[in-house]
Structure 1
Amino acid sequence: MNKIKNQARPVFPFTAIIGQEEMKLALVLNVIDPKIGGVMIMGDRGTGKSTTIRAIADLLPEIEVVSDDMFNSDAYDYDVMSDVVKQQIENKVDFTTQFIKVPMVDLPLGATEDRLCGTIDIEKALNEGIKSFEPGLLAKANRGILYVDEVNLLDDHLVDILLDSAASGWNTVEREGISIRHPARFVLVGSGNPEEGELRPQLLDRFGMHAEIRTVKDPSLRVQIVEQRTKFDQDPYSCINEFYDKQSALKESIVLAQKKLANVVIDYDLKVKISQICGILNVDGLRGDIVTNRAAKAFAAYQNKDEVDVDDIKTIITLCLRHRLRKDPLDTIDSGTKVDKIVNEILI
């Protein structure tokens, strides 16, 4: 029997992606704990960035949302619930729920602020006294993934809005004295090609993790990747069926990690060592310390552990810190290597 439902558009399975381990790990950890703050993926063109991001969204279990709610509100969690649903609960009004796939929203490069944040219909508000709101992409992305390709080419003002919403979990639209706010909790994923320009350091620092991807050089691995992709293009459903068990196992371990996360602990001495590394590397602010602690806990939970150990920190710390180092034009080593060197000195 066919193990998959008929999808409108088949998505390449996440577990079928060969290589690019750094990017895959960063995405999985952000899905386990969205408060890590998103992922910036920088790398060459044609390295499977958007394929991988679509694949992780497709892999995730369906979420329960309030029916006919434009913000994908959770019926049980106040933090990701719209004000309308909160009022319904307070007034004991019944509503139905339904299960939907995790939203995956693409932000096009030419998007305007209204398209991103949504718009208030002023005419309706003045004439009829009704707060009429046309939701934007931030509303659609609530409880999902918001993907910005070529984020380094996006208008800085829009990047600021994106990062503020991702950090606070809310989007506020104000116009002519009328204000509407709604939940906007999402995993922000940006990708770009360094040849097309860098992101400003103050914006780069706001992304929780930074994965660097390179074109695979090994000829046999390249052949393997090409064959895998060709097989999928020729018969997507048999390829999806082939990876069904692996996909299910990964989905299950993500769900278990999400449940386990709140109880994972990190020893005080390890916290001190993380901060010591950040200090030696001259990382500005405390965001690096916070993200590294969060990511280490998410990684421990992903491995079904109750406590973070040194190896967990070694695995994730470069992803959390490499983009926070001050750029020195005279440096001959890249920032990732610099982080690794200090980590190996401190974490023995």
Structure 2
Amino acid sequence: MAVQFPFSAIVGQDEMKLAILLAAVDWRIGGVLVFGDRGTGKSTAVRALAALLPKMRVVAGCPYGCDPAAASGCEACEAQGRAAGAARKSVLVPVPVVDLPLGATEDRVVGALDLERALSQGVKAFEPGLLARANRGFLYVDEVNLLEDHLVDLLIDVAASGENVVEREGLSVRHPARFVLVGSGNPEEGELRPQLLDRFGLSVEVRTPEALAERVEVVRRRDAFERDPHAFTERWKKEDERTRRRLVAGRSRLDGVRVPDAMLERAAQLCMALGTDGLRGELTLIRAARALAALQGDAEVADAHLKRVAPPALRHRLRRNPLDDAGSSVRVDRAVAELFGP
């Protein structure tokens, strides 16, 4: 397995790293969209996440990586005796981070008839696709704004339901497909369809560093990694382990974090001030603030948490205002300052 650049060694890009960590703490946030200049660490951050995440427990032999502690599972789990209450064997595996290539066919993504078994054994069997592999993990789409429309529609449906349904060639298969969708891209190469844009919980803007010292440090670390990946990774092992412990602790604390009614009102007031459509903005804002509180070890959500996550949670949900030529980030910052104070 190739050595990944350590997550903790990424220079700057704090908002991007925080958004990825929050999505890892609470998958219900709805994924992360990272838009910005080429060569700013977008792909590096996502791939570094794979090495950072603690292993997860799955039902042994399950093609979808079902959770052995879940009340119900897929047909494969039931076939192992789950319905009869038999003890289920489980194993620890790395959390999947699956790449969805732009040129992938629909069969490759959703799964299809296993032609080899059909021809050799004469049986109809399902060959799981990328969505099955990504269950309980991360599905990463680089250049997501260039993804073909039929795949965009497919992702929207599955991301909303958490389930993949395949009806073709006499097959009828339904399996869990609950994943964190992470997309990256360059806005100069095209905009993202509004339907998919709205499905991302957090949206992050990354830019090329402008400070001389920061640019030099990026080059220094990347060069050191390429010359000796193992030695470089070892130097950052303790920092990555510290981040991993924060992540695990955040997950365990998440359900116990309180969200006072005053914070619900704050979130609603902010979304009303910005004119966001629907209530997905409020839901994402609260989920992200709760995940941040859990990550920081705080018992309840406060103003500081809402202020921190407001830009990535809301900037991609604003309607264009012909009378205001300010960017979406500026508009969110302005609304936050008016509601919470400078």
In the alignment, is residue 84 of structure 1 matched against residue 76 of structure 2? yes
8 A contact 1:115–1:137 mirrored in 2: yes
Separation (CA, whole Å) in 2 of partners of 1:89 and 1:180: 18
- Residue 185 of structure 1 is matched in structure 2 by 178
Separation (CA, whole Å) in 2 of partners of 1:302 and 1:167: 25
Gap runs ≥5 in structure 1:
1-7
Question: Which is worse superposed, 92-101 or 25-34?
Answer: 92-101
Alpha-carbon shift at residue 179 of structure 1 (Å): 1.7
- Residue 63 of structure 1 is matched in structure 2 by 56
Alpha-carbon shift at residue 76 of structure 1 (Å): 1.2
Query: Equivalent pairs: percent with the same residue?
Result: 49
Alpha-carbon shift at residue 164 of structure 1 (Å): 2.4
- Residue 20 of structure 1 is matched in structure 2 by 13
8 A contact 2:21–2:247 mirrored in 1: yes
Paired residue for 1:72, among 65, 77, 80? 65
- Residue 151 of structure 1 is matched in structure 2 by 144
- Residue 187 of structure 2 is matched in structure 1 by 194
Q: Which deviations, in whole Å up to 9, do the C-alpha atoms of 1:177-226 show, x marking residues without a partner?
A: 64211111111000110000111223211110100000001111101110
The amino acid that maps onto 1:240 is T
Separation (CA, whole Å) in 1 of partners of 2:85 and 2:115: 30
- Residue 111 of structure 2 is matched in structure 1 by 118
- Residue 24 of structure 2 is matched in structure 1 by 31
8 A contact 1:201–1:324 mirrored in 2: no
Alpha-carbon shift at residue 112 of structure 1 (Å): 1.3
3-state SS, counterpart of residue 308 of structure 2 = helix
Separation (CA, whole Å) in 1 of partners of 2:334 and 2:326: 11
Q: Which deviations, in whole Å up to 9, do the C-alpha atoms of 1:50-73 show, x marking residues without a partner?
A: 110000121001111222221112
Separation (CA, whole Å) in 2 of partners of 1:123 and 1:223: 53
Q: Which deviations, in whole Å up to 9, do the C-alpha atoms of 1:280-314 show, x marking residues without a partner?
A: 21101111010001000000000011100100000
8 A contact 1:120–1:173 mirrored in 2: no
Separation (CA, whole Å) in 2 of partners of 1:329 and 1:276: 22
Paired residue for 1:325, among 311, 318, 321? 318
3-state SS, counterpart of residue 217 of structure 1 = coil
The 1:90–1:315 alpha-carbon spacing in structure 2 relative to 1, beyond 3 Å, is same
3-state SS, counterpart of residue 64 of structure 1 = strand
The amino acid that maps onto 1:187 is V
Separation (CA, whole Å) in 1 of partners of 2:217 and 2:6: 15
Separation (CA, whole Å) in 2 of partners of 1:216 and 1:194: 17
The 1:123–1:145 alpha-carbon spacing in structure 2 relative to 1, beyond 3 Å, is closer
- Residue 3 of structure 1 is matched in structure 2 by none
Q: Which deviations, in whole Å up to 9, do the C-alpha atoms of 1:71-124 show, x marking residues without a partner?
A: 112111246x32221342113455432211111110100111111100135997
Note the aligned Cα RMSD (angstroms). 2.1
The two structures have a TM-score, normalised by structure 1, of: 0.92
8 A contact 1:14–1:56 mirrored in 2: yes
The amino acid that maps onto 1:40 is L
Separation (CA, whole Å) in 2 of partners of 1:182 and 1:131: 17
The amino acid that maps onto 1:303 is Q
Separation (CA, whole Å) in 2 of partners of 1:220 and 1:93: 60
Gap runs ≥5 in structure 2:
none
- Residue 47 of structure 2 is matched in structure 1 by 54
3-state SS, counterpart of residue 65 of structure 1 = strand
8 A contact 1:148–1:190 mirrored in 2: yes
The amino acid that maps onto 1:27 is I
Separation (CA, whole Å) in 2 of partners of 1:329 and 1:116: 39
1:1-348 → structure 2 map (5 Å cutoff): 8-78=1-71, 81-87=73-79, 88-120=81-113, 131-175=124-168, 178-328=171-321, 331-348=324-341
Equivalent residues, number: 340
Alpha-carbon shift at residue 266 of structure 1 (Å): 1.1
- Residue 4 of structure 1 is matched in structure 2 by none
8 A contact 2:285–2:313 mirrored in 1: yes
